[in-house]
Amino acid sequence: MRRSGTEKHSPLTLSLSQRERGVWSEGGRAQSMGIPCPIRTGAVEHGAREALVFGTLRWTWKELDAEVRRWERVLEARGVRSGDRVGLLSQSRPETLFLLWAAARLRASVATLNARLTRAELGPLVERTRAQLLVAEARLLANLGEGACSLETLAAEADAVASAGAPREEQLLDPGAPWLILFTSGTTGRPKAAVLCLTQLQASARASAACINGPTPPRWLGTLPLFHVGGLAMVVRCAFDGGTLLLHDRFDADAVNAALDRDGVTHMSLVPTTLERVLDGRGTRPGVHGLQAILIGGGPVPPALLERARALGLPCLQTYGLTEASSQVTTERPATADGSTAGEPLPGVQLRVVDAEGTPLPPGAEGEVEVRGPTVMAGYLDDPEATASAFRDAWFRTHDLGVLDGRGRLRILSRRSDLIVRGGENVYPAEVEAVLLQHPEVAEAAVLPEAHPSWGQVPVAVIVRRGTVAEESLLAFARERLAGFKVPSRCVWVDTLPRNAMNKVDRAALRQVAGIAPR
């Protein structure tokens, strides 16, 4: 059934003392106890149940296991071994799932690269992955440069592998080995690569299920991209819950509404922008029978938007999550959701709000949000300094500002200092500023968030010119070097950037100078 080389390195390892701190290093590592691949378990326990749907194509658990088995052989033939890394550049496609689980069976890791990035942005990330194999959709292949192979080529090779005969002897998965490498950024704009192991993702899936799952296996509508942790979390949840992933290659409001009305969706994840588009498309159509939860992440949700959704009977639950914590950290509970907070921590996840010295603060006090528990990442890839600074003892320092209420529910006040969240995509001002400063007629640049009715926030560039560059020319310059969602919506020209005593840009003062309203 048709279903639509770079430098070698030693594997990442974690010593016992480092494991407590979440610090990755090179060298030997004691083998952890293995666990069965959940895809193989699904094939044995509910092989005829639907596992994956993509358009008109469908796979049962038994068929999905056979597909992963073929891809495992293809990756082996391509030289992928335990401890190796695979770099993947693709939109959401079934082949992404096949490759991810095949790599897990080989005890290799996969760096999922953002398909929206330009070749210039991808270059440093590809170099840092030091992947044994680079794979991209054919239309994106040029963005990875020489040495990469197309996802379509691997799919053809997998189709050529005979699925008949006895399955290969099963190798247990190593839950403590690196599996997913996801690039994120701090306020410095320098990309960091969070290393997630299967054990952290499994813990997140189980904790999420305890909060929002019903008595029957879930049917997740997957519209979040599989190069982000939110989309990948759905893959893992379905695998361990024995659910069905209804995968879409991209978000389309009409397709989402059609799926809600036709496909028995029980769960889905959206960001405020996509929720608004779904509501616009639904009009006055009522809620969906059997729909149990719509998780809303990617930034605060306007109260009026939640009211619109709930008026139609759509069960929206606000969440707060991080790549470094395997997606969800807090989630509203269905029985008590009121939209006033991002909910309480998932079972097994600990959350606290601390002052500048790390002292826990009482309910109602504002401070930095810190997280610890079995869902928190092992560390940043090949970046011990960033890893060490990210943890306070075993607590992960989010650098987000928030407050806990008397019931332990979290309200986020500010996301990662200067972070701009545009339609669910993170835009880091330092990265955009660095590109703008490459223009010969830009003397100084600062990027600030501005509220937007559709995107939530958009970046605005505040520029000190040394020439007469026009706005459209400067924005065109940025478009050649940045993904579209990072390009400023407009430019504001000023004579100087106000600075504080430490010679850092005073962004609060700059807002007033530039006439940009608070977000």
Domains and CATH numbers, the chain: 12-410 (3.40.50.12780), 420-514 (3.30.300.30)
pLDDT score recorded for residue 443: 86
CA distance 229 to 312: 29
Task: Write down the pLDDT at residue 18.
Answer: 37
The pLDDT value recorded for residue 8 is 41
Residue 368: which H helix or E strand, with range? Answer: strand 367-372
pLDDT at 7: 40
Residue 151 CA to residue 238 CA, distance in Å, equals 23
Distance between CA atoms of 314 and 221, rounded to whole angstroms? 14
Residue 123 host element (H or E): helix 119-129
Q: Which residues of the chain have pLDDT under 50?
A: 1-31, 164-165, 187, 501-502
Question: What are the angstrom distances between the C-alpha of 181 and each of 91, 111, 228, 298?
Answer: 16, 4, 10, 20
pLDDT of 243 reads 97
Backbone angles phi, psi at 51, to 5 degrees: -110, -40
Supply 389's token pair: 């600074």
Question: Residue 102 has which token pair?
Answer: 């095949």
**Spatial distance between the Cα atoms of 265 and 405, rounded to a whole number of angstroms:** 33
DSSP 3-state of 221 = strand
Q: So what's the pLDDT on residue 450? A: 92
Burial of residue 515 (number of CB atoms within 10 Å: 0-12, 13-18, 19+):
exposed
Q: What is the pLDDT of residue 167?
A: 54
Name every residue whose Cβ is closer than 8 Å to that of residue 65 and which is 6 or more positions away in sequence: 39, 40, 42, 43, 47, 167
Beta bridge partners of 173: 35
Q: Could you tell me which residues are beta bridge partners of residue 492?
A: 462
pLDDT of residue 169: 67
Task: Supply angle C-alpha 365, 367, 373, rounded to 5.
Answer: 110
Residue 373 carries which side chain, given as an amino acid letter? G
The 3 state secondary structure assigned to 42-66 is HHHHHCCCEEEEECCEEEEHHHHHH
Count of Cβ atoms closer than 10 Å to residue 160 Cβ: 9
- DSSP state, residue 482: S
Beta strands in 264-308 (DSSP E): 267-270, 293-296
Residue 348, pLDDT score: 96
Q: Is 165 helix (H, G, I), strand (E, B) or coil?
A: coil
**Which backbone phi and psi does 141 adopt, to 5 degrees?**
-60, -40
Q: In the prediction, which pLDDT does 357 show?
A: 92
Looking at residue 278, what DSSP letter applies? H
Q: How many residues does the chain have?
A: 519
**What are the start-end ranges of the H helices in 403-470?**
429-436
